[in-house]
Copies of this chain bind each other. A is one copy, B any other.
Amino acid sequence: MAKALSKRYAIGVDYGSNSCRALVVDLTNGDEIASHVYPYPSGEHGILLDPKDPNLARQNPADYIDGFITSVRKSLAQAKKVKGFSPDAVVGLGVDTTGSTPIPVDRDGMPLALRPKFKNNLHAHAWLWKDHTGHAEAAEITEKASKDKTGYLAKCGGTYSSEWYWSKILRCKRVAPKVFDAAYAWVELADFVPAYVTGTTAPEKIRRGICAAGHKAMYHEDWGGMPKADFLRKLDPALVPLATRFTHPPVSSENKAGDLLPEIAKQVGLPAGLAVAVGAFDAHHGSVGAGVKPGTLVKIIGTSTCDISVWPLDEDLADIPGLCGIVPGSVQAGMYGLEAGQSAVGDIFNWFVRHLAPQAVTGKGDAHVNLTRQAEQLKPGASGLIALDWNNGNRTVLVDPLLTGLLVGQTLHTTAAEIYRALVESTAFGALTIINRFEEHGLTIKEVINCGGIAEKNAFVMQTYADICNRPMKVSRSAQTCALGAAIFGAIAGGAFKDVASAQKNITGTKAKVYRPNKRAAAVYAELYKLYKQLHDAFGSAGYTGKLDNVMKDLIAIRQRQRGAGK
Q: Which residues of A contact B (CB under 8 A)?
A: 50, 52-55, 133, 175, 344, 347-348, 350-351, 355-358, 360-361, 384, 390-392, 402-416, 419, 538-542, 544-545, 547-549, 551-553, 555-556, 560, 563-566
**Once the chains are docked, how many angstroms separate the CA of A347 from the CA of B542?**
36
30 residue pairs bridging A and B, Cβ less than 8 Å apart: A52-B565, A53-B560, A53-B566, A54-B413, A55-B565, A133-B566, A344-B412, A350-B412, A351-B410, A351-B414, A356-B356, A356-B357, A360-B361, A384-B404, A391-B411, A391-B412, A392-B412, A402-B552, A404-B408, A404-B409, A404-B410, A404-B555, A405-B408, A405-B414, A407-B408, A538-B547, A539-B548, A539-B549, A542-B549, A544-B548
Interface centre among A175, A355, A361 (most CB of B within 10 A): A355
Contacts of A404 in B (CB 8 A): 384, 408-411, 552, 555-556
Contacts of A384 in B (CB 8 A): 404
| Contact across chains for A411 and B416 when beta carbons are under 8 A apart | no
Give the residue of B52, B412, B549, B565 whose beta carbon is less than 8 angstroms from that of A538: B549
Give the 8 A-B CB pairs with smallest separation, nearest first. Answer: A405-B410, A53-B565, A360-B360, A406-B408, A54-B413, A52-B565, A538-B548, A356-B356
Contacts of A551 in B (CB 8 A): 539
**Once the chains are docked, how many angstroms separate the CA of A551 from the CA of B408?**
15
Contacts of A548 in B (CB 8 A): 538-539, 544, 548
**Once the chains are docked, how many angstroms separate the CA of A361 from the CA of B360?**
7
Contacts of A358 in B (CB 8 A): 361
Contacts of A53 in B (CB 8 A): 560, 563, 565-566
Contacts of A565 in B (CB 8 A): 50, 52-53, 55
Closest B residue, CB atoms, query A50 = B565
**Once the chains are docked, how many angstroms separate the CA of A390 from the CA of B414?**
13
**Once the chains are docked, how many angstroms separate the CA of A406 from the CA of B402?**
19
Closest B residue, CB atoms, query A136 = B566
Measured CB to CB, the closest approach of chain B to A85, in angstroms, equals 41
Contacts of A566 in B (CB 8 A): 53, 133, 175
**Once the chains are docked, how many angstroms separate the CA of A540 from the CA of B548?**
8
Closest B residue, CB atoms, query A560 = B53
Measured CB to CB, the closest approach of chain B to A551, in angstroms, equals 6
Besides A350-B412, A391-B411, A545-B545, 18 more A-B contacts (Cβ < 8 Å) are A52-B564, A52-B565, A53-B560, A54-B411, A175-B566, A351-B414, A355-B414, A384-B404, A391-B412, A391-B414, A402-B552, A404-B408, A404-B409, A407-B407, A407-B408, A538-B549, A539-B551, A539-B552
**Once the chains are docked, how many angstroms separate the CA of A50 from the CA of B564?**
12
Measured CB to CB, the closest approach of chain B to A539, in angstroms, equals 5
**Once the chains are docked, how many angstroms separate the CA of A384 from the CA of B511?**
43
| Contact across chains for B411 and A405 when beta carbons are under 8 A apart | yes
Closest B residue, CB atoms, query A356 = B356
| Contact across chains for A355 and B402 when beta carbons are under 8 A apart | no
Measured CB to CB, the closest approach of chain B to A307, in angstroms, equals 20
Given the interface pairs A53-B565, A392-B412, A560-B53, the reply to whether A549 lies near B540 with Cβ below 8 Å is yes
**Once the chains are docked, how many angstroms separate the CA of A542 from the CA of B550?**
8
| Contact across chains for A347 and B392 when beta carbons are under 8 A apart | no
**Once the chains are docked, how many angstroms separate the CA of A104 from the CA of B54?**
56
Contacts of A133 in B (CB 8 A): 566
**Once the chains are docked, how many angstroms separate the CA of A351 from the CA of B419?**
13
Measured CB to CB, the closest approach of chain B to A139, in angstroms, equals 10
| Contact across chains for A403 and B356 when beta carbons are under 8 A apart | no
Measured CB to CB, the closest approach of chain B to A107, in angstroms, equals 31
| Contact across chains for B347 and A412 when beta carbons are under 8 A apart | yes
**Once the chains are docked, how many angstroms separate the CA of A391 from the CA of B407?**
12
Contacts of A52 in B (CB 8 A): 563-565
Measured CB to CB, the closest approach of chain B to A416, in angstroms, equals 5
| Contact across chains for A355 and B415 when beta carbons are under 8 A apart | yes
Measured CB to CB, the closest approach of chain B to A230, in angstroms, equals 29
**Once the chains are docked, how many angstroms separate the CA of A477 from the CA of B249?**
78
**Once the chains are docked, how many angstroms separate the CA of A404 from the CA of B387?**
13
Contacts of A351 in B (CB 8 A): 410-414
Measured CB to CB, the closest approach of chain B to A304, in angstroms, equals 10
| Contact across chains for A541 and B552 when beta carbons are under 8 A apart | no
Contacts of A356 in B (CB 8 A): 356-357, 361, 416, 419
Contacts of A547 in B (CB 8 A): 538, 542, 544-545
**Once the chains are docked, how many angstroms separate the CA of A477 from the CA of B541?**
51
Contacts of A564 in B (CB 8 A): 52
Closest B residue, CB atoms, query A542 = B549
**Once the chains are docked, how many angstroms separate the CA of A355 from the CA of B419?**
10
| Contact across chains for A549 and B544 when beta carbons are under 8 A apart | yes
**Once the chains are docked, how many angstroms separate the CA of A352 from the CA of B501?**
53
Measured CB to CB, the closest approach of chain B to A448, in angstroms, equals 25
**Once the chains are docked, how many angstroms separate the CA of A314 from the CA of B133?**
62
Measured CB to CB, the closest approach of chain B to A88, in angstroms, equals 45
Measured CB to CB, the closest approach of chain B to A355, in angstroms, equals 5
Measured CB to CB, the closest approach of chain B to A557, in angstroms, equals 9
| Contact across chains for A348 and B412 when beta carbons are under 8 A apart | yes
**Once the chains are docked, how many angstroms separate the CA of A195 from the CA of B244?**
92
Interface centre among A347, A357, A390, A405 (most CB of B within 10 A): A405
